[in-house]
Amino acid sequence: MLCALKSFFKFLVEIERVIQVSPAAQVKCGEKEKSLSKAFSEAEVTALIDTASEHRLIDQMILELLYGLGFRVSETAPNQLENMDFEPKSIRIEGKGDVEWINPIHDNTLIRVKMFMKKNGITSGWLLPSKLDKTVPMSRKSIYKIVKRIAARSGVDSKNVSPHVFRHSFTTHMLNAGCDMALVQEYLGHAESPQPRFMPRYLRKISRKHLGSSILLQLQYR
**pLDDT digits over 95-132, tens only?**
777 778 888 887 778 888 889 889 989 899 998 999 88
Among 89, 90, 57, 95, smallest CA distance to 76 is for: 95
Give the pLDDT score at 187.
Answer: 79
Q: Would you say residue 83 has pLDDT above 60?
A: yes
The domain segmentation of the chain, as residue ranges, is 42-218
Residue-wise pLDDT tens digits, 29-57: 655 444 555 788 888 988 998 898 888 88
- Write the CATH number of the domain with boundaries 42-218: 1.10.443.10
Residue of higher predicted confidence among 204 and 107: 107
The model carries a pTM of 0.71
Give the pLDDT score at 65.
Answer: 87
Lowest-pLDDT choice from 69-73, 134-138, 175-179:
175-179
Q: Give, in order, the Cα–Cα distances in Å from 115 to each of 17, 45, 56, 109, 120.
A: 35, 22, 12, 10, 9
Residue of higher predicted confidence among 203 and 107: 107
Instruction: For the sheet with 84-85, list strands across it.
Output: 84-85, 90-94, 100-104
In the chain, % of residues over pLDDT 70: 72
CB 190: neighbour CB atoms within 10 A?
16
User: Quick one: average pLDDT of 203-217?
Assistant: 45
CB distance 193 to 23 below 8 Å: no
User: Quick one: average pLDDT of 200-219?
Assistant: 44
Q: Would you say residue 150 has pLDDT above 90?
A: yes
Element (H or E) spanning 158, and its range?
Answer: none
Q: What is the average pLDDT value for the chain, to the nearest integer?
A: 76
Q: Is 77 helix (H, G, I), strand (E, B) or coil?
A: coil
Q: Residue type at 16?
A: E
In the chain the first and final C-alpha atoms are separated, in Å, by 49
